[in-house]
């Protein structure tokens, strides 16, 4: 997948995510939009997976710890063929396979149930440790929210992962700087997440998180670290994605209160039209 194809894929994920949210009429637009480029990089080329065999044991796993961004993951999974695209219109309907927060028991391709924030970190750590015990060379990817990093469990897991040198664990932290009640600075200041992860023993890097090409390069670099060097220097990697909450969606980007918001048909159509124009200009 070349750079242009990757950007096009990101655009398609963004459109499908908005279609999914608009079908229900509201949802976690902001935090879904901000991770679209990360999902594009992972599902475009970087994750070892097989849509025809979603439970393949030695696959790479993705734990979407900020489980409320489910619609963005559903969009990526449907575009990769894990399930029919028509499912996207069933978001949050009674009996749906696509609940607001991700559920490993309901959706093909979803590797962990998340929604109670902080818990995905520990689950990903367990998967990475178990994969190593199993002798697999697979990677475990973890997407954390920045507001989620308020949870102490994130840091319990971070300490454990570094102590156990889980170099095949790669966390992508969606640093969109907003959480439900306001900016992360207003609610509970996080400081530098890269410094925090580094001080917990991780390799940490800041990346323009709404640039799919840059995210893909950072993921490749993170994976390269796992395969080389002194074992004593092996450590997990945190890619801090500098993102904009609501990115690329005209009615959500930069809007206070975009954590969970109405997603009307008209606004969605207008937003998708803008995205389509931008993709055509690539």
Residue numbers at the binding site for another protein (CB under 8 A): 57, 61, 63, 103-105, 111-113, 115-116, 118-119, 121-131, 133-134, 136, 152-153, 156-157, 159-160, 163
Q: State the minimum distance, in angstroms, from the CB of residue 119 to another protein.
A: 5
CB of 2 or CB of 55, closer to another protein: 55
Whether residue 69 contacts residue 32, with contact meaning beta carbons closer than 8 Å, is answered with yes
CB of 10 or CB of 112, closer to another protein: 112
Q: State the minimum distance, in angstroms, from the CB of residue 195 to another protein.
A: 21
**What's the CA gap between 261 and 36, in Å, rounded?**
18
Q: State the minimum distance, in angstroms, from the CB of residue 68 to another protein.
A: 13
Strands of 180-256, DSSP E = 182-183, 203-208, 237-242
CB of 14 or CB of 66, closer to another protein: 66
Q: State the minimum distance, in angstroms, from the CB of residue 130 to another protein.
A: 4
**Host H or E run for residue 62:** strand 61-64
Whether residue 36 contacts residue 13, with contact meaning beta carbons closer than 8 Å, is answered with yes
Q: State the minimum distance, in angstroms, from the CB of residue 8 to another protein.
A: 33
CB of 31 or CB of 120, closer to another protein: 120
Query: How far is C-alpha 51 from the chain's CA centre?
Result: 18
CB of 130 or CB of 227, closer to another protein: 130
**What's the CA gap between 254 and 57, in Å, rounded?**
40
Q: Are strands 169-175 and 140-145 parallel, antiparallel or unpaired?
A: parallel
A 10 A CB-CB count for 232 gives 7
Whether residue 5 contacts residue 248, with contact meaning beta carbons closer than 8 Å, is answered with no
């Amino acid at each position: 997948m070349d750079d242009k194809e990757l950007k096009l894929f990101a655009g398609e994920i963004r459109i499908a995510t908005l279609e999914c949210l608009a079908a229900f009429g509201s949802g976690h637009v902001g935090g879904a939009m901000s991770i679209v480029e990360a999902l594009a990089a992972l599902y475009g080329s970087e994750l070892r997976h097989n849509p025809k065999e979603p439970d393949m044991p030695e696959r790479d796993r993705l734990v979407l710890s900020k489980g409320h961004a489910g619609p963005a993951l559903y969009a990526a999974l449907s575009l990769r063929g894990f399930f029919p695209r028509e499912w996207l219109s069933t978001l949050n309907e009674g009996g749906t396979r696509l609940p607001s927060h991700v559920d490993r028991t309901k959706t093909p391709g979803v590797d962990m149930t998340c929604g109670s924030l902080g818990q995905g970190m520990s689950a990903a750590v367990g998967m990475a440790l178990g994969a190593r015990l199993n002798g697999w060379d697979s990677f475990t990817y973890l997407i954390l929210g920045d507001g989620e990093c308020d949870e102490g469990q994130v840091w319990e897991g971070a300490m454990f992962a570094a102590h156990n040198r889980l170099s095949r664990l790669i966390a992508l932290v969606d640093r969109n700087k907003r959480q439900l009640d306001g900016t992360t600075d207003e609610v509970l200041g996080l400081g530098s997440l890269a410094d925090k992860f580094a001080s917990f023993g991780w390799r940490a890097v800041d990346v323009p998180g709404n640039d799919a090409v840059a995210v893909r390069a950072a993921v490749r670099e993170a994976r390269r670290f796992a395969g080389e060097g002194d074992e004593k220097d092996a450590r997990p990697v945190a890619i801090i994605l500098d993102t904009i909450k609501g990115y690329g969606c005209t009615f959500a980007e930069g809007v206070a209160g975009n954590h969970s918001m109405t997603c009307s048909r008209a606004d969605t159509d207008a937003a998708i039209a803008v995205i389509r124009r931008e993709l055509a200009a690539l």
